[in-house]
Amino acid sequence: MSSDGGVGHPADDTTSFVLQPPSPNAVPQPPAVPTQGTGRLIAGRYRLLAKLGHGGMGTVWRAKDEMVDREVAVKEPRVPDHLPERERANAFERMRREARAAARLDHPAVVDVHDVAVVDGRPWIVMELVHGRSLGGALQEGTLDAREAARIGLQVLGALEAAHAAGVLHRDVKPDNVLLGRYDRVVLTDFGIAQIEGETNLTDTGGFVGSPEYIAPERVLGQRPGPASDLWSLGVVLYTATEGVSPFRRSNTPATLQSVLNAAPAAPAAARGPLSEAINGLLHKDPARRPTAAQVRALLETAANPQAPEPTQRVQVTAPATRSPRRLGRKAWLGAGAAVVAAAVAGYLLLADPFAGPLPDGWAKRTDAKLGVTLAVPAAYQPGHPEKDDTDKNWVSYTDWSGSIAIVVHLARRSDDSQHEILSNATAQMLDDNEKFRNEGAYELDMPKGAKTDPDKNATYHGRAAARNTVVYTTDDSQNPRPRELQIFYYRTKSGDLYKLTVSYPGKGDFTARGRDVAKAAIANLDIKKP
C-alpha cells in the first residue's frame, strides 16, 4: 500500500482525479500527517502512525509492527454504523476476501498480505508498505510517455496473469489501485471486490461493483466477467496514462456507463505503434475479440523497448466502431411502441453473472395485468408505456438505456378487431407480416422493402402452435443506415387474441450476440395468463 496518501477515492466516484498536461514546476505531495487515531495499538502489535488515505471500503494507516520492528500498511474497515447487521457482515467478509485473494498470489506486482487482525469482530488487513504513490496521483501532474506506460502496463499485466491463473478476477483495475514504488516497482493493490473462483458472490450494497469508467461493457450488461474484463480495464488505464484524458468518463454515472457501451474513443495520439495496437485491441467492446494476455505482453514489451524486434505475429485490431444510441419513435415496433428512458444509477447495481438459474442472473419478471402477460427482462431495462394520445394502448416495452436492445410485447384483441386483421393462426400472421416486410417494409421501424426473413413455422407455446421469425434489414436512414435484426414470436390464444413478442437489436457489432441471447431468454420465458 502506498505511503504517500494515494490510496484512492471511493469506488463510485467517476471524477476521482483530474488529468493535467505535464508541468515542469509540479510540486511533490507532502508526506502524510498524523491524524486522530495515531498511536492506537491493533491486535497487540500494530501501532498506527499516520493515515495514508481512504477508499470506499476502508482507511489505510502507516503502522509499525512492534513484534518484528518493521513498518506496514494496515487497512481499517470503514462501514457506516447505520447499515443493517447483515450488510455490515457482508462488508467485513469482502475485506476477508481481499486478504485471501491477495495472499494466494505470489507475484512481485501484487502487494503482500502479512496478517488479518480481527478486532471487535472487524478484520484489519496488514500488508506490506509500498513507499511511493499511486498512478492516479502521478497522473495529476501529467501524462506518461509511451515507454513508461508500457513498462507499468507490463507489470500490471503480470499481476493480472498471476491472479487469473489462481482463479481470481480483480474487477477494479484503475490508476488509484496501481502503486508506483521504489526501484521502478509497480504494484497492483486493492482486491476488495475481487471475485474468487468457487466462492459465493456477495451483493454489493449501495454502489457499483467497480469504478464505472473502468468497467468492461460485458459487466455493465450483466454478463459473466472473465480475464478479458480485467484486460479491458488495463486498456482504459493505458489510454488514460498516455492521452491525458479518461476515454469514457462523463459528468455522471449513467452517462459514463453509456459511453462504455457505445462510445469509441479517439485513436491514441501519444501512444503509437505497438502500444496503440494494444490499447485499441483491449478496448474492443466484444471480449472475444480482445487480444490475449500473451499477445498484449508481446506488444507492450516492444513498446517498452523500441530497439527490440517487433513480435512476429502482430495483433490485428481496429478501433471500436462508434455507436450512437438510437431513439425510437412513439409509433414503433409494429404498432407497439418503445420509449428510451434515461437510466437511474440504482438500476445498475446488479452486475452479476448470467444464466445461473431458471432466469439469467440479473433478470427479473415483469407482469402487466392489463395485457395479461409476464415478461422476463434484464432487471436494469427501462419500461415504456403508451402515451396519453396513443391510439394503441395494448403494448409495453423494456429497453436497455443505450437504446440498442428493446423487448416489446403487443396484444391485438379479438374483441377490437373490426378490420379482421387477426388471421386464423400464428403462422398465417407471420407469413402476412413477411410479405409486408419484403414488399413494403415497415415505416415505424425505418425498414425499407426487401428485408430478409427466416420464418419458423414449427414453434410451439405450451404445446399449441406458434410461430417465430427472424428479420434482417438495413434502416433507410440516408445519413446513417444501420443493420438491424428482429426476432418476433407470434401466438394466437384460444380466444383469438394475438400476442407478438418482438426483440430488436443491432444486426452487426458488439450488441448482436447479446441481443440474440436476450431474445432467446425473453421468448423462452414468456408467460401469457390465458393461453
Q: Enumerate the known binding-site residues.
A: 75
AA letter at 384? G
Tell me how far apart the alpha carbons of residues 467 and 465 are, in angstroms, rounded to a whole number.
Answer: 7
The secondary element (H helix, E strand) that includes residue 22 is: none
State the residue for C-alpha cell 488479518: 116
186's CB contacts (< 8 A; 6+ apart) are 109, 151, 152, 155, 156, 178, 179, 180
Q: What's the DSSP call for residue 427? A: H
Burial class (CB in 10 A: 0-12, 13-18, 19+), 176: buried
Cell representation of residue 70: 518493521
- Contact predicate 36/87, CB 8 Å: no
The span from the CA of 58 to the CA of 78, in Å, is 4
CA distance readout (Å), 244 to 138, 140, 192, 238, 511: 11, 9, 27, 10, 29
The rounded Cα 88 to chain-centroid distance in angstroms is 25
Among the options 172, 176, 204, 510, which is catalytic?
172
Q: Grid coordinates representing 439?
A: 414488399
What is the spatial distance between Cα 29 and Cα 527, in angstroms, rounded to a whole number?
61
CA-nearest of 340, 206, 229, 355 to 282 is 229
Residues in Cβ contact with 349 at an 8 Å cutoff, skipping those fewer than 6 apart: 204, 206, 207, 208
Annotated binding site for ATP: 75
The residue with cell 464505472 is 212
Give the residue from 52, 39, 56, 352 showing the smallest Cα distance to 179: 52
**What separation in angstroms does the CA of 313 have from each of 295, 316, 424?**
8, 9, 60
81 carries an active-site annotation: no
Q: What angle do CA 67, 72, 75 make, to 5 degrees?
A: 115
DSSP 480-527: S--EEEEEEEEEE-TTS-EEEEEEEEESSSTHHHHHHHHHHHHHHT-E
Positions marked catalytic: 172
